[in-house]
Structure 1
Amino acid sequence: MIALATLLGSNLVVVTWLYVTAGPSANALLSLGRLTGLYGALLLVFQLLLIARVPWLDRRLGPGVLTSLHRWNGVALVWLLVAHAVFVVAGLLDRMTPWTLALGVTGVLRAFAALVLIIGVGVVSARWARRKLAYETWHFLHLYAYMAVVLAFSHQIAVGQSFNDGIARFYWWTIWGLALGAVVGFRVLVPLWRNWKHQLKVEAVVPESEDVVSLYVTGRRLDELPVRAGQFFLWRFLVPGRWWKANPFSLSVAPNGFYLRLTAKALGDGSAGLRQLKVGARVFVEGPYGAFTASRQRHPGVLLIAGGVGVTPIRALLEELNGDVVMLYRVNRLEDAVLLNELLDVAYQRGAEVRLLCGPPDAANSNGLLLGPRNLDALVPDARDRDVFLCGPPPMVRAVLESLKELDVPPQQVHTERFSLAS
């Protein structure tokens, strides 16, 4: 995080210096318009870096942090670009009409189209809109942001005063080139290479319950796939009606060099259709992604807390974590405890302890709610001295985080992750 802040801050200084050395515009409004436009262009480059899925960033910060930074950077970007448009139009109105500005100045229509697209992507990314959209729809609409990037860059080249200077041209071409290169490299070329190398396909489809299914995926040289327990892939199944859909699923078994396994509950169109996949179906993956791995373990003791189908990365982690491991598995009904027998077997082999907490969301005992602070303290009295890995439905995760806070578990010892990515 410090490295990212330093990177952004240093580039803000460079952009400000380039703005000053380029000299003032015709009036104060145009000067403000230029400055907000330059800052907006820099944040657009930074946005590309955040969505490029650079492994170095992903392994250290995790998708949750990167997605949060992407969201806040996007909000600032929209406001800067709106301010840029307002200041520039206001600064030019004394010499031309809006119609003349739109048709007579090179690149203005491209800039307007880019602004509309960026605002549109920002609107569909808002929480209230995101809840109403299927993951596939949201992902598809996000792709329009790349068209906005192309339009915005071409506008900057066409009319940007900072491009009149050789040093400024070199700077902007360099940072745009690096950001776009990272996107193409890590989101296109690396996935293409890995999928050609590993040739993944569905080996078996195994129902775990009435609404949960596990897929076993095999391929070539899987021992060379750089994946760890707790990470996830974006999965595409290359069959009619599904090839264009990418869904994030974590591994439910630690990588073993022989097969990959994902376990998913039927919550949307993407996960509901997994049961109908045929053996032999080709699979295309992007990833692995995520920092929810054993590399975060700093203490000899570990507490794993899983809720519902959030057990899948926890099940994989149970195989890799070292030391004294206690796992709490929270479900509403006994039949919801998928993979329980596997968990007990792995726990027995590794000397870990698994405790099943079963009951409706408001279920309680003499110590209060099952995942409340008093009951957690009773079940794991030394939780403050353990690393905590937490995965489950968002309401459960929020409740457990509050309980851990009340128990004075240091925040740096609590590890949770959002198993999806900004697009």
Structure 2
Amino acid sequence: MTTTTARPGATPASRAPRTTRLDATARTAAGTRRGADPARPVRLRPPLRRAWWPDAVGMFTWGTLLVVTALWVANSGLQDVLAGPAAALSSLGRLTGLWASNLLLLQVLGMARVPVIERAYGADRLAKWHRWVGFSSFHLLLVHIVTLVLAENLYTGTGVVQSAWSMALTYPGMLLAWAGTLMITMVVVLSMRAARRRLRYESWHLLHLYAYLGVGLALPHQLWTGSDLTAQPWAAAYWWGLYGAVLVCVLVYRVGAPLLLSARHRFEVVSVTPAGRGTVTVHITGRHLSRLRVEAGQYFTWRFLTGPGWTRGHPLSLSAAPTTAGLRVTIGVDGDDGERIASMRPGTRVLVEGPYGRMVSSARTRPRIAAFAAGTGVAPVMALLHDHAATSRTTGPDTLVQRLSDEQDGSLLQDAAWLADQYGLRHVTLVGRRSRTGTSWLPEQYGHVAGPQAVRHLIPDLDEHDVFVCGPDGWADAVVTDLRAAGVPDSAIHLERYTW
């Protein structure tokens, strides 16, 4: 472990390095890497947030489920459950179909980047919710299909396969519904962890878009054959309105808003420079950046218009505080698209979608910042530390705990060294393989140290800090567990996982 410590406001000559030790073998070194003086942050307008947004979004979600259940009850759903096996199966099939359709629409709405929803929960929580709702709606969809086919079998006395085939050919819109089900099934299979490991993010994201088409193909059969949707005019109006609202949100916030943002600011690449082994830093400028609502710690989806592959979106956090002079991102170049990005020339146009994320300085409840970062997860916390640097002169030094596989692995080490020199940042590097026993987020040579104890050793004045954690999901979750065990309340923990 290496740590650089300095008093805020002191000159480099007057600072005496101090080591935070986990055991007697810990190494100490002052920051030896020196980078150029980054541009002084100029705070841009932060996105608006309201404390009641999460409650409003939650009430809307549960309200829609209550409405569709009421539609089922109003259309003799409960009576049919007691009317015999065939009627009971048909009634349960209708109910699960309503729930599945409602959840599918809410799933699409949740990832439509609606500002109220995005800023209420944050992208990390929305992604987990999106995954949970997706699998839940898919399971309900399977129950819907099975119960209705079994009910048809009991009504007609034919075989199960023949009943399913007859329904597909004779019921209006059913062939489209089956096609939509196959597309949704494909997306669900590709969303399983084993399948995702074999796909690059860009390919998975492109295939994931077929879920939109699958949901759209299910609409006709619901409105043509679903008695819960057609029995009353207000029921049909509800479903048409819900589908229409979701479609409008997707078109406005996933298509229209990004195009308008990119056209207004005309983002373009200024330079591409190495930032560490396997990473580069991309500097981006644009017009009228003082009007851009963004905070340090947020991320955009970037599309670099460099020829073939420009349609691939890259969700990248800002790696420095946003300024009126431009934005900065740091990206790994070892992937399929890395060579294209690393070779970009100045003037390359950029399409931008965002900003997203709630791991921002304005979410703090305490005066100082402590950050735990692994891999490229250092980018958003570095932006936070840049943004808070000047304030740290009066509140006390911030802390960065950076996880590295080896001494040459780290990104943005020059930035950390500069912040240590100029603002007294306490920079701790945890170098080596992850421990396979004991505390898993520490290097193996420190795995025997209890996690809560390690947290307190690394940040003795922990109770004065909000803690920002960013990195791979397993590592980040382990850090958060030990932070809670060390007494840090959830209100002071801000988590963003690098996963999809």
TM-score by length of 1: 0.92
What residue is the counterpart of 1:107 in the other structure?
173
What residue is the counterpart of 1:354 in the other structure?
427
Q: 1:328-339, aligned counterparts within 5 Å?
A: 328-339=401-412
Among 349, 352, 358, the alignment partner of 1:291 is 358
Q: Distance in 2 between matches of 1:420 and 1:194?
A: 26
- Which whole-Å deviations, capped at 9, do the CAs of 1:206-248 have from their partners, x for residues lacking one? 1123411111111211222211111111111112222121111
Question: Is 1:197 aligned to 2:264, yes or no?
Answer: yes
Among 418, 423, 426, the alignment partner of 1:345 is 418
What residue is the counterpart of 2:349 in the other structure?
282
Offset, 1:350: 3.9
Q: 1:23-422, aligned counterparts within 5 Å?
A: 23-24=76-77, 27-93=87-153, 94-95=155-156, 97-98=162-163, 99-161=165-227, 162-321=229-388, 322=391, 323-324=395-396, 325-362=398-435, 363=443, 372-419=451-498
Which structure has greater helix proportion? 1
Q: Distance in 2 between matches of 1:6 and 1:269?
A: 42
Among 69, 75, 91, the alignment partner of 1:16 is 69
SS in 2 for 1:263: strand
* Alpha carbons of structure 1 residues 181 and 198: separation in structure 2 relative to 1, 3 Å: same
RMSD (Å), alpha carbons:
2.2
What residue is the counterpart of 2:25 in the other structure?
none
Structure 1, unmatched stretches of 5+, are none
* Alpha carbons of structure 1 residues 420 and 206: separation in structure 2 relative to 1, 3 Å: same
Q: Distance in 1 between matches of 2:277 and 2:401?
A: 23
Structure 2, unmatched stretches of 5+, are 1-53, 81-85, 436-442
Q: Distance in 2 between matches of 1:371 and 1:230?
A: 29
* 8 Å Cα contact 1:250-1:419 kept in structure 2: no
Q: Distance in 2 between matches of 1:238 and 1:246?
A: 11
Q: Distance in 2 between matches of 1:33 and 1:333?
A: 56
Q: Distance in 2 between matches of 1:105 and 1:297?
A: 56
Larger mean Cα displacement after TM superposition, 71-80 or 205-214: 205-214
- Which whole-Å deviations, capped at 9, do the CAs of 1:95-129 have from their partners, x for residues lacking one? 37433322111111111111111121111111221
The structure, 1 or 2, with the larger RCO (C-alpha pairs under 8 Å, 6+ apart) is 2
Q: Distance in 1 between matches of 2:193 and 2:199?
A: 10
Q: Distance in 1 between matches of 2:361 and 2:136?
A: 34
* 8 Å Cα contact 2:277-2:408 kept in structure 1: no
Q: Distance in 1 between matches of 2:310 and 2:203?
A: 14
Offset, 1:313: 0.8
Residue-pair matches, total: 420
- Which whole-Å deviations, capped at 9, do the CAs of 1:263-306 have from their partners, x for residues lacking one? 11234213453212222221111111111111210011321122
Offset, 1:347: 4.3
Offset, 1:375: 3.0
Q: Distance in 1 between matches of 2:344 and 2:296?
A: 24
Offset, 1:364: 6.2
- Work out the percentage of aligned pairs sharing the same amino acid: 38
* Alpha carbons of structure 1 residues 369 and 4: separation in structure 2 relative to 1, 3 Å: farther
Q: Distance in 1 between matches of 2:168 and 2:364?
A: 57
